[in-house]
A and B are shown apart, each in its own frame.
Chain A
Amino acid sequence: MDNLLEVKDLKIWVAGAARPILVVDGVDLQVRAGSVLGIAGESGSGKSISAQSLIGILGEKFVYEGEIRLEGRLIGDGGEPFAAIRGREISMIFQDPLNSLHPQIQIGKQLTEHAGRSGQDSRKADKRARELLREVRIPDPDWAMKAYPHQFSGGMRQRIAIAMALVGDPKVLIADEPTTALDVTVQAGVLRLIKRLCVERDLGVMIITHDLGVMNAMADDLTVMYAGRVVESGPATQVLQSPRHPYTEQLVGSLPAGPARDGGRARNMRAIAGEPATPRNRPAGCAFHPRCPWAEDRCAVTVPPVEYRGEGRRSACLVDPFFSVDDVRKAAAR
C-alpha cells in the first residue's frame, strides 16, 4: 500500500535559553489514503509539535530536519514550500474549537476567505461553503454562514473547523486532539464525522490524542510516542491488544475499560509510576527506563533502535518483554 504522507527521521529543535533543545528525535510516520493514523502519547511527547511541523506553522523558534514527502514529492525545506501545501493539500484542525475560530468574523467569511486562491469566484465559494457545512451536518447552513462562532456549541464549532479544513479539498487532514475539549456526549459525533470523511473522501487522516479509547474506535494504524521518540507502531488493534513496548502496555493498562490483552476482563486501573520524561530532561538511553518495570542496566545507556516486530509492527525496546513464541509461529505461518 502506498503512503500518502511519509515522514522520515523527523527531528525538531526549539530555541532554549542556552542551546537548542531536541524535542522530537527521529520520528517516522506514514499516512495512507482512506485510513486513520493515530499518534498517541502523553503531553510533552512531541506529538503536536511533530504534526504542526508538517505544515510549517511552528514559528521561528523551531528548527526541523528530516524528510517530509506528500505523494512522493518532497515538501518543506528543499522542496515545495509549506505555504503552497497548507490548507490545500494538508489541512489541520486543533484542540480547542472555542478558540480556534476567529470570534469576530462571520462563519461564511471564515469558510471562504481562503478559497480565492483556487480561482473560484465568491459566489462559487459561498455555494461550496454551504455544501461543506451540510456535509459536516451543521443544521441550518444559510443561517450559519451569517452567524459568529460564539453562537455555536463546542461540537458545532469543531464541525465548522472541519468544514473550514476541507475548503481546499485536502488529501491529508491532521486533527490535533480534536475532541479533548469537547463534552463526552458530542465527542463520538465528531469522531464519526472524521471517520466518515476519511472513507468518503479517501482522505489520509492523522489523529493526535492521548485518549486510547479514541484510538481504539478510530485508528487503523497507531504510533506511540514517548519523550519525542516513537516507541511503538503498527496496526491499531494489534498494538492495543498486544503491545510490544512496556510504555504502550502501561498506557493500555491505565485505561479504565480498555481493550485488555486478557480479552477485556475487568481490571483495576493502573497508573504509570513516576513522572513523564520531558525533552528538557530526557533520561539517557531509553527515555522510559526510569519508569519501566522491565528495565535493565543497558537500558540506561543505549538508545533502543526502532526494530521490526513482524506484520508491519515496530517497537523500540532492548528487552522486548512481550515477545512471544506464538507471535513468531503466526508470522512464520504466513
Chain B
Amino acid sequence: MGVRSSFWLFVIKRLGISVFLLWGVATIMFLAARLVPGDVISVMLGEEAAADPVARQAMIERFGLDRPVPEQYYLHMTNLVQGDFGISMRTRGPVADELARAVPASLELGILAGLISAILGIFLGTLSALQRGKLADQLIRVVTVTGISVPLFWLALVALYVFSFKLQMFPGIGRLSPGVAPPPTATGMYTIDALLAGQLGTFADAFMHLLIPGAVLAVFTMTLITRFTRSAVLEVLNEDYVRTARAKGLTSVRILFAHVLRAAFVPIVTVIGIMFGAVLAGAVLVEEIFNFPGIGQMMFRSAVFLDMPGMIGIGLVVAVIYVGISFVTDILYGVIDPRIRVS
C-alpha cells in the first residue's frame, strides 16, 4: 500500500471528524439558546406588546416556538445548512448578510496578524535557541515577557496614539480612508479584492489600515510562538539525529533548516493553530478600538444588544474557524511527520 493513498484516507477521516464536530457545536448552541434564562418573546416585542396575549401568541407561532423541540431542532438545522442564520435583533437584517461582511474583514486582519506573529515568532524563537544564554537570547526573553504582560487594549490605544496621531505614519481607524471607495467584492477582503481589480492605491490604503491593528493583534501570539519555538528547537538540538547530521558533514545552515526546524515544526504548528483562537479573542478589543467592522466588533455589539441570532451566528462562525484550523493543523502534522499518517 502506497504512502499516498494512506495519506488521503487520513485526510478523509479528519474531514469526517470535523463535520461531526460542527454538528455537535450547532446542536449545543441550539440547546443553549433554549436554556438561556429570560423571555425571548418579551425582548423581541418590547414590554408593552408582550402584555398582549394575541401578539404574544402570533409571535410564538411565527417563530415556531409552539412546536415540539425535536421539530424546532430539525428546522433550525435545515436552516443552518441552507445558510439561514435568522434575523438580527440589532440590525433587523439577516445575520448571514452581516457575517458575509464581517468575516472577510476579520479574516484579512487575522491572517496578517497570524503571518506577522508566525514569521517573527519562529525567527526570534530560533535565534533565541541558537544563541542560548547569550545577549540576543536575553534580549528576546525580555521582549517576550513584556509582550505577554502588556494588556492588549492599552497597546492598541498607545499604538493608535503614537503611529496614527503623533507620527501620522499610518491612517487611523476603519478599513479604508474616507473618500476611498471599496473595491468590487470578490472575496470581501479589501486588500485581495483591490489587487484583483488592479486598484493599487486602494490596496495600499487598505493594507495601511490593517497594519497597526494587525501588529497589535500579533504581539501576544508572537511572544508565545517565540517561547514555544525556542524550547522546541532546543529540544531538537539535543536529538541524536542532529548529531548524525553533523557527523555526515552537512553545513550548519542545512542542518538548521532541513533537520532541526523540520522536526521542531510539529510542536510549533500546534501552537500556531491554538494561537489563532487567541487572535480571534483579541480581535474583540482591537476591532472595537480601531473601529474595524469584523466579527470581533460584531460579537461585542451583539452581546451588548442581547442579539441572540447574531450571537448564535458568530458562535457558529467561530466554531467553523476553530474546527477548520484544527483540521488544517492535523493535515499539516501528517505532511510534516510521516509517522502520524502511516499509523
Which residues of chain A (61-109) have a CB below 8 Å from chain B? 83, 85-88, 91-92, 94-96, 99-106
Taking A96-B240, A99-B240, A148-B338 as contacts, is the C-beta distance between A88 and B249 under 8 angstroms?
yes
In angstroms, Cα B241 to Cα A96, docked, is 10
Contacting pair A117 B249 (CB below 8 A):
yes
Which of A88, A114, A146, A168 lies at the interface centre, i.e. has the most chain B CB atoms within 10 A of its CB?
A114
Is A298 at the interface (CB under 8 A from chain B)?
A: no
The number of chain B residues touching the other chain, given as a range, is: 20 to 34
Which residues of chain A (103-126) have a CB below 8 Å from chain B? 103-106, 113-114, 117
Taking A102-B259, A104-B263 as contacts, is the C-beta distance between A94 and B243 under 8 angstroms?
yes
Taking A113-B254, A151-B342 as contacts, is the C-beta distance between A102 and B263 under 8 angstroms?
yes
Please, which residues of chain A bring their CB within 8 A of the CB of B336?
104
Is B97 at the interface (CB under 8 A from chain A)?
A: no
Which residues of chain B (63-83) have a CB below 8 Å from chain A? none
Contacting pair A103 B247 (CB below 8 A):
no
Q: Nearest chain B CB to A187's CB is how many angstroms away?
A: 19
Please, which residues of chain A bring their CB within 8 A of the CB of B62?
none
Contacting pair A99 B239 (CB below 8 A):
yes
Contacting pair B338 A150 (CB below 8 A):
yes
Is B258 at the interface (CB under 8 A from chain A)?
A: yes
Q: Nearest chain A CB to B4's CB is how many angstroms away?
A: 10
Closest to B241 in A: A102
Please, which residues of chain A bring their CB within 8 A of the CB of B247?
55, 57, 86-87, 91-92, 94, 165
Which residues of chain B (253-272) have a CB below 8 Å from chain A? 254, 258-259, 262-263
Closest to A103 in B: B339
Contacting pair B262 A101 (CB below 8 A):
no
A105 contact from B246, B249, B262, B342, Cβ within 8 A: B262
Closest to A55 in B: B247
Closest to B263 in A: A104
Q: Nearest chain B CB to A276's CB is how many angstroms away?
A: 24
Q: Nearest chain B CB to A242's CB is how many angstroms away?
A: 36
Which residues of chain A (165-223) have a CB below 8 Å from chain B? 165, 167-168
Is B13 at the interface (CB under 8 A from chain A)?
A: no
Please, which residues of chain A bring their CB within 8 A of the CB of B3?
146
In angstroms, Cα B244 to Cα A99, docked, is 9
Q: Nearest chain B CB to A152's CB is how many angstroms away?
A: 12
In angstroms, Cα B245 to Cα A88, docked, is 13
Is B186 at the interface (CB under 8 A from chain A)?
A: no
In angstroms, Cα B244 to Cα A131, docked, is 21
Contacting pair A164 B241 (CB below 8 A):
no
Taking A103-B263, A103-B337, A151-B342 as contacts, is the C-beta distance between A86 and B249 under 8 angstroms?
yes
Please, which residues of chain B bring their CB within 8 A of the CB of A83?
249, 251
Is A161 at the interface (CB under 8 A from chain B)?
A: yes
Contact with A along B1-17 (1 / 0, CB 8 A): 00100000000000000
Please, which residues of chain A bring their CB within 8 A of the CB of B339?
103-104, 148, 150
In angstroms, Cα B249 to Cα A150, docked, is 23
Q: Nearest chain A CB to B266's CB is how many angstroms away?
A: 8
Is B303 at the interface (CB under 8 A from chain A)?
A: no
Contacting pair B248 A86 (CB below 8 A):
yes
B240 contact from A55, A87, A100, A113, Cβ within 8 A: A100
Taking A87-B249, A92-B247, A103-B337 as contacts, is the C-beta distance between A113 and B258 under 8 angstroms?
yes
Which residues of chain B (1-47) have a CB below 8 Å from chain A? 3
Which residues of chain B (319-343) have a CB below 8 Å from chain A? 336-339, 342
Taking A96-B240, A114-B250 as contacts, is the C-beta distance between A102 and B245 under 8 angstroms?
yes
In angstroms, Cα B264 to Cα A102, docked, is 12
Please, which residues of chain B bring their CB within 8 A of the CB of A168?
248-249
B241 contact from A57, A92, A103, A150, Cβ within 8 A: A103
Which of A85, A100, A148 lies at the interface centre, i.e. has the most chain B CB atoms within 10 A of its CB?
A100
Please, which residues of chain A bring their CB within 8 A of the CB of B337?
103-104
Taking A104-B262, A113-B258 as contacts, is the C-beta distance between A86 and B246 under 8 angstroms?
yes
Q: Nearest chain B CB to A109's CB is how many angstroms away?
A: 9
Which residues of chain A (27-73) have a CB below 8 Å from chain B? 55, 57
Please, which residues of chain A bring their CB within 8 A of the CB of B248?
86-87, 91, 113-114, 164-165, 167-168
In angstroms, Cα B259 to Cα A105, docked, is 8
Please, which residues of chain A bring their CB within 8 A of the CB of B245?
102
Please, which residues of chain B bring their CB within 8 A of the CB of A92?
247
Contacting pair B258 A101 (CB below 8 A):
no
Contact with A along B210-251 (1 / 0, CB 8 A): 000000000000000000000000000001110111111111
In angstroms, Cα B343 to Cα A150, docked, is 10
Q: Nearest chain A CB to B274's CB is how many angstroms away?
A: 21
Contacting pair A100 B241 (CB below 8 A):
yes
Closest 3 CB pairs of A and B: A87-B249, A99-B240, A87-B248
List residues of B whose CB falls within 8 A of some A CB.
Answer: 3, 239-241, 243-251, 254, 258-259, 262-263, 336-339, 342
Q: Told that A100-B240, A114-B249 touch, could you supply 8 new A-B pairs with CB distance under 8 A?
A: A83-B251, A88-B249, A94-B244, A99-B239, A104-B263, A104-B338, A113-B258, A148-B338
